[in-house]
Amino acid sequence: MVCEGWKEKLDTYLDGEVLEQEMREFDAHVRNCPSCAADALGRVQMKRAIQVAGKRFTPSAEFRQRMQQRMAARPKRSLNFGWMLAAAAAVVLAAGALTTSYMGVRSGRELAANQELANRDHVLSEIADLHVETLASSSPVDVVSTDRHTVKPWFQGKIPFAFNLPELPNTGFTLLGGRMTYLDQAPGAHLIYDIRKHHISVFVFQERALSSKLKLSDEAASSNRLPFNTETWSQNGLRYFVIGDASAADIENLAKLFKASS
Amino acid sequence: MFYYVDVSGADLKPDSFEELAMPLFDQLFNFARWMTQNREEAEDLVQETYTKALKGFSSFQLGTNFRAWMYRILRNTFLTSRTGLKVTMTVPLDTEEGGPELAIESDTPETLMFERSNREMLQGAMDELPVNFREILLLCEVEEMSYQEIAETLSVPIGTVMSRLSRARRALRDRLRAPFQKSGTAGIAKGTVVQGSNHGL
d(CA B136, CA B69): 15
Model confidence over A70-127: pLDDT tens digits?
877 665 544 444 555 555 566 556 555 555 554 544 455 566 666 667 777 778 888 8
Q: Interface pTM (ipTM) of the complex?
A: 0.73
Sequence ranges of the domains in chain B: 9-88, 109-183
pLDDT over 90 (residue A132): no
Domains in chain A, start-ordered, CATH in brackets? 4-52 (no CATH), 113-261 (3.30.200.100)
Q: Which of A212, A223, A135, A209 is nearest to A179 (CA)?
A: A135
Interface test with A, best of B44, B49, B104 (most A CBs within 10 A): B104
- Tell me the pTM: 0.52
pLDDT over 90 (residue B55): no
Q: What is the mean pLDDT of chain B?
A: 75
**What pLDDT is recorded for position A212?**
66
| pLDDT over 90, % of chain A | 17
Inter-chain touch A138–B110, beta carbons under 8 Å: no
Using a CB–CB cutoff of 8 Å, tell me whether A43 touches chain B. Answer: yes
Model confidence over A210-233: pLDDT tens digits?
766 666 665 555 555 667 888 888
Residue A57 with chain B: CB contacts under 8 Å: 29-30, 33-34, 39, 42
Contact B137, B169 (CB under 8 A): yes
pLDDT over 70 (residue B189): no
Instruction: Give residue B161's pLDDT band: very low, low, confident or very high (50, 70, 90).
Output: very high
Nearest to B162 among A12, A56, A187 (CB): A12
Instruction: Give residue A202's pLDDT band: very low, low, confident or very high (50, 70, 90).
Output: very high
pLDDT over 80 (residue A150): yes
Domain B9-88 = CATH 3.40.640.10: no
Domain B109-183 = CATH 1.10.10.10: yes
**What pLDDT is recorded for position A97?**
56
**What pLDDT is recorded for position A171?**
85
Model confidence over A53-69: pLDDT tens digits?
899 999 999 999 888 88
Q: How far is CA A166 from the centre of its chain?
A: 26
Q: What share of chain B is helix, strand, coil (3-state, %, to 5)?
A: 65, 0, 35
d(CA B114, CA B110): 6
Least confident range of A6-20, A91-105, B175-189: A91-105
d(CA B186, CA B87): 32
Structure-derived torsion over alpha carbons of residues B164, B165, B166, B171, reported in degrees to the nearest 10: 90
Inter-chain touch A57–B138, beta carbons under 8 Å: no
Model confidence over A136-146: pLDDT tens digits?
877 788 888 88
* Exposed / middle / buried, residue B50 (Cβ in 10 Å: 0-12, 13-18, 19+): buried
Model confidence over B112-145: pLDDT tens digits?
555 556 678 889 999 999 999 999 999 999 999 9
Bridge partners for A230 per DSSP: A243
